[in-house]
Amino acid sequence: MTAILHIVGAGLSGLATAVAASQTGHKVRLYEAAGHAGGRCRSFHDPVLDRVIDNGAHLVLGVNRNALAFATAIGGIQAMDALPAHIAFAHLRQGWRRTVTPRHMPVSLAEALRACRPWIGQSVTVAEHLGHRQGFADFWQPLCLAILNTAPQHASAQLFARVLRTILLAGKDGLRGYAFPHGLSAALIDPALALLRRNGGEIHFHHRLTAISQSKLTFTPNDIPLTAADRVVLALPAWVAADFVPQQIQLPTETIANVHYRLASAPDIPSPLGLLGGVGQWLFVRDDVASVTISAAIAAPDPVALWAEIAPLLGQEPPIPPHRVVWEKRATLSHRPHVLNHRPGTLSGLEGVFLAGDWLASPWPCTIESAISSGLMAARAALGRDDLRFS
Ligand SMILES: Cc1cc2nc3c(=O)[nH]c(=O)nc-3n(C[C@H](O)[C@H](O)[C@H](O)COP(=O)(O)OP(=O)(O)OC[C@H]3O[C@@H](n4cnc5c(N)ncnc54)[C@H](O)[C@@H]3O)c2cc1C
């Protein structure tokens, strides 16, 4: 009987596992609780805006090698736009605009070197490390929220420094953003599903895993028997995987809120635009839809107050246009020093069962890059093929 790789969870980590394995000719079955793939990275048609929107605006960077390799392998890269290798910021209260590159940072060289340095104590937070520096409020704080989705008072300074070093050492293209002009699903999800189907993979939606044993996977609605040669990858979010994996504790998470506005016309404005001095932190524009992101949001966003912040930048007049709030309550792990010690590796502790997911041990915080990298590593471990690549 042919061995099957069973993958539970059709978010990016599960899709990456499935794509990598199916490219070798291995038989793959993907199970997903929802009626659609993509998990925390997906598009949908919103009836209020009458537009396809993403659950939250996402950005991939040039330094995210596995994410770009995956997008290239599935053909989704054609639905992504390479942006200029800089980040534009606008200060909402002081009115200035600024463009930041690795060579042109709004802080002193000494401060930048301090932020990136490798020798930072494991338990140190970003606020402890950089809070007393001049550039904290207008640079390090928003950057920390953008990169780690965790307030500087809680976020790991070690992880923050590691990500900054990786971006800066990647050369001029490291900071180049890749946007999704047709939505996340058009670039990262739909082409992956199409490739899997072409490779003979099976995709089963509305299959929620409820139990796992040596001989079967129990789903609502039915059991799937396992042979001794079969392998299983659990590509589940941390809070779900903890129910199935021995000794995995529940880890704290952070939210991300997005408010999407349908504008009267498409504005001419750089996107993304970092917002300083207000409640919203990033403004993304796609045609006539403007989306404001609030990382690590602790309260439901107020669409009226956010509109008042961004309307002048967009050159739009009151009243507030049609809008939609998407508040992802568990968007990423909370990247606190003690939490990082509990990010596990690919081995689950159960025979023949492997883990994938953005929350696994990684040089990256929970991101598209960590999710896709974890999927590739899970495929390698499950098939015993260290040579697997996205091709
Ligand atoms: C609003 C928002 C903005 C973000 N912005 C960025 C960004 O700009 N850049 C970036 O790199 N990253 C960003 N991220 C993070 C990125 O989206 C995630 O890291 C990534 O999508 C996680 O993929 P995953 O496969 O690990 O997990 P998930 O996407 O959570 O996939 C897990 C899948 O398992 C399914 N599932 C759950 N329980 C079961 C069960 N019992 N049985 C079967 N299936 C089950 C779920 O439905 C889901 O489809 C953002 C996330 C959010 C929410």
Query: Mean pLDDT across the chain, nearest whole number?
Result: 95
pLDDT digits (tens, 9 = 90+) for 132-171: 999 999 999 999 999 999 999 999 999 999 999 999 999 8
Q: Which of 155, 163, 126, 149 is nearest to 338 (CA)?
A: 155
Q: What is the pLDDT of residue 153?
A: 98
Q: What is the mean pLDDT of the segment spanning 202-210?
A: 98
Q: What is the mean pLDDT of the segment spanning 83-110?
A: 90
Indicate if ligand 1 lies below 6 Å from the C-beta of 41: yes
Residue nearest (by alpha carbon) to ligand 1 atom 37: 236
Indicate if ligand 1 lies below 6 Å from the C-beta of 11: yes
Q: What is the pLDDT of residue 74?
A: 98
Q: What is the pLDDT of residue 212?
A: 96
- Nearest ligand 1 atom to alpha carbon 219: 42
Q: Which of the 8 DSSP states describes residue 201?
A: -
For a mutational test of ligand 1's pocket, the pick from 44, 147, 236, i.e. the residue with the most ligand atoms closer than 8 A to its C-beta, is 236
Q: What is the pLDDT of residue 302?
A: 96
Confidence check: pLDDT of 45 > 90: yes
Instruction: Please count the residues of the chain.
Output: 391
103 pLDDT tier (thresholds 50, 70, 90):
confident
- Per domain, the residue ranges of the chain are 4-47+182-249+338-383, 103-169
CA–CA distance, 275 with 179 (Å, rounded to integer): 18
19 pLDDT tier (thresholds 50, 70, 90):
very high
CATH code of the domain occupying 4-47+182-249+338-383 = 3.50.50.60
pLDDT digits (tens, 9 = 90+) for 256-300: 999 999 999 999 999 999 999 999 999 999 999 999 999 999 999
Q: Which of 276, 267, 299 is nearest to 291 (CA)?
A: 267
Q: Which of 93, 94, 116 is nearest to 105 (CA)?
A: 116
- Nearest ligand 1 atom to alpha carbon 54: 1
172 pLDDT tier (thresholds 50, 70, 90):
confident
Confidence check: pLDDT of 318 > 90: no
Q: What is the pLDDT of residue 221?
A: 87
Residue nearest (by alpha carbon) to ligand 1 atom 7: 58
% of the chain with per-residue pLDDT over 90? 91
Q: What is the pLDDT of residue 247?
A: 85
Indicate if ligand 1 lies below 6 Å from the C-beta of 12: yes
- Nearest ligand 1 atom to alpha carbon 55: 1
pLDDT digits (tens, 9 = 90+) for 231-254: 999 999 999 999 999 888 899 999
Residues 305 and 276 sit within 8 Å (Cβ to Cβ): no
Q: How many CB atoms within 10 Å of residue 142?
A: 20
In angstroms, what is the span from residue 12 Cα to ligand 1's centroid? 7
> Alpha helices of the chain — where are they, by DSSP H?
12-22, 65-74, 109-116, 126-130, 141-148, 157-169, 184, 190-198, 238-241, 303-314, 337-340, 368-383
Q: Which of 156, 137, 33, 32 is nearest to 91 (CA)?
A: 137
Structure tokens at 375: 């999927």
Confidence check: pLDDT of 173 > 90: no
Q: What is the mean pLDDT of the segment spanning 111-120?
A: 95
Indicate if ligand 1 lies below 6 Å from the C-beta of 371: yes
Residue with tokens 């590691």: 162
In angstroms, what is the span from residue 237 Cα to ligand 1's centroid? 7
Residues 195 and 75 sit within 8 Å (Cβ to Cβ): yes
Confidence check: pLDDT of 1 > 80: no
Q: What is the pLDDT of residue 292?
A: 97
- Nearest ligand 1 atom to alpha carbon 357: 26
Q: What is the pLDDT of residue 384?
A: 96
